[in-house]
Each structure stands twice: as C-alpha cells, then as structure tokens.
Amino acid sequence: MAKWLKGVKANIKDTLKQSYTLDVDYTITKQKSSNAGRPNEIIMLTPDCMKRLCMLSRTENAEEVRTYFIELEKHIDKYKNIIFEKYEINQKPIPKSDNEGVIYVLQTDLNLPGVYKIGKTTDFTPLHI
C-alpha cells in the first residue's frame, strides 16, 4: 500500500498504531527473514481500514482514491431511484394459489443415520422459537 500511495512505510505504520486497533483494523505478523537480519513484518489491513487510510493520506494517489469515492457516490445517487424501483418490484409477494403447500424433509428421530421423512402439507404454521 505504501508503494501504491507513494508514501513512506514507517509513516503508514505509525498512523496505523496511533489511529487504529491492532487485530481489529489490521494485523501484524512476523516472518523470518531469509538472511540473518530482522524478521519481516506482514501487515494486513481490513478493507475499511485501507479505505480510511487512503482517505486520510495526503499523497497524490490518495487524492485519486478520494475522487473515486466521490464519483462513485455521485453515480449511485444518480441511479438510486432506478435501483430502488427494481428492488421493490422483485420484493413484491407472489400471490398464493389454493393448491399450494409446503414440502418438508425431516430427519427421523430413530437412530438411523441418513433416513429422512419427506412429506407435503397445505396446513403449515412455522414455529417461532
């Protein structure tokens, strides 16, 4: 990410430590180095943490990320009514006919693994537990 943002790794790591929560927003794993030096650190960010870092960063590439999210928001705002209308159409209940029912599959209470009871009914009331 430091390379992509054209930022300094140490500065990004300091920002992570000061502003975010270890093992929630990011993780740090030590990896043995191939030579005798310090172990390498692998820092993994959550998607939200990565976005926040990009939004806060003052590098040129971070400005591109901010512009991307602003343009994305405009695009969604432009088409939100179409999206909502399509969603509402797909969420209308299907009219029920008189010959409909419920098909069920139940595991038997006997000690017989893999044995199931299959049936159907038109009188079905789900239990709310």
pLDDT tens sequence across 51-74: 898 888 888 788 888 888 889 888
Cα(101)–Cα(121) distance, integer angstroms: 5
CB-side neighbour CA atoms (13 Å) of 23: 0
Q: H or E element: which one contains 84?
A: helix 60-90
Q: Which domain holds residue 44?
A: 2-90
Q: For 68-90, what is each residue's pLDDT tens digit?
A: 888 988 888 888 887 777 766 55
Q: Find out whether 121 and 101 touch, Cβ atoms under 8 Å.
A: yes
Q: Is the residue at 18 inside a domain?
A: yes
Q: Is the residue at 99 inside a domain?
A: no
Look at the chain and report how many structural domains it folds into. Answer: 1
Q: Is the residue at 102 inside a domain?
A: no
Q: What is the pTM of this model?
A: 0.52
Radius of gyration of the chain (CA): 27
